[in-house]
Amino acid sequence: MDIMKGEVICIIGPSGSGKSTLIRCINALNDVQQGTITLEGYDVHDPKLDKLELRRKVGMVFQQYNLFPHKTALENVMMAPLKVLKEPKAEVEVRARALIKKVRLEGKENAYPGELSGGQQQRVAIARSLAMNPNVMLFDEVTAALDPETVKEVLLTIKELATDGMTCILVTHEMGFAREVADHIYFTDKGVIVEHGAPDTFFDNASDPRTKKFLGQIL
Ligand SMILES: Nc1ncnc2c1ncn2[C@@H]1O[C@H](COP(=O)(O)OP(=O)(O)OP(=O)(O)O)[C@@H](O)[C@H]1O
Ligand SMILES: [Mg+2]
């Protein structure tokens, strides 16, 4: 798998086929038994590599937003740069406010997660991840737990990020979104990538029977 700067990659495939495992390997949340992953010249699984450096380069957003419930949206976004990167508070706050605006949550800075919808919380989680200034963003089924109305607003946020040139790797079941936004689609089955291609080719002319079967079930 080769991913170029600024590309949007979607990974689709049946449950248990290794989609999460694949993207979790990219920021070393999972170890690899074989092979290598290189990120801007770094061997991700080199034990000598500083994991903090890697975590700064790679942001990750999960299905569960895992915001701190007793912290406001703004405080959630500010926390990692303050605690992990030890950046000055005033600077971090300016950046955090800009990010909250970017995910279209202006006015919700002082809201607690419990006062926000699922889609709003997920956008705070995206802003929180962006606060570390990552070069790559990983999204693992970030809209899977949301109501249909709020799915759209989260996808819009991701689409805007992609348009800004952020390298995005997404595991998603949103086929319309994948077709519209992805530069390249990967299909996994039973732990292997069985097929990949540009969206139009992939959705209209899949060649592997496993891909065809999967697309036949969901489209
Ligand atoms: N290539 C692989 N090598 C080793 N283990 C794998 C591989 N692919 C998947 N697994 C194992 O299979 C299980 C399911 O994988 P994973 O959670 O990545 O699937 P998934 O595609 O994200 O499924 P879901 O859609 O349900 O989230 C895990 O226990 C994982 O460790
Ligand atoms: Mg998964």
| CATH of residue 109 | 3.40.50.300
Provide the pLDDT for residue 218: 81
Provide the pLDDT for residue 167: 97
Please report whether residue 32 resides in a domain.
yes
Provide the pLDDT for residue 193: 95
Cβ(190) – ligand 1 distance below 6 Å: no
Provide the residue range defining the domain that includes 97. Answer: 8-218
Provide the pLDDT for residue 21: 96
Cβ(121) – ligand 1 distance below 6 Å: no
Atom of ligand 1 nearest to the CA of 22: 18
Provide the pLDDT for residue 51: 84
Residue 213: how many CB atoms within 10 A of its CB? 12
Cβ(24) – ligand 1 distance below 6 Å: no
Cβ(17) – ligand 1 distance below 6 Å: yes
Count up the domains in the chain and report the number.
1
Atom of ligand 1 nearest to the CA of 21: 18
Provide the pLDDT for residue 148: 87
Provide the pLDDT for residue 64: 93
- 17: CB partners within 8 A, 6+ apart: 188, 189, 190, 191
Mean pLDDT for back-to-back runs of 10 residues, the chain (219 residues): 96 96 94 93 89 90 95 98 95 97 96 96 96 96 91 94 96 94 96 95 93 88
Alpha helices in the chain (DSSP H): 19-26, 51-57, 73-83, 89-102, 118-130, 148-163, 175-181, 199-205, 209-218
Please report whether residue 112 resides in a domain.
yes
Residue 49: how many CB atoms within 10 A of its CB? 14
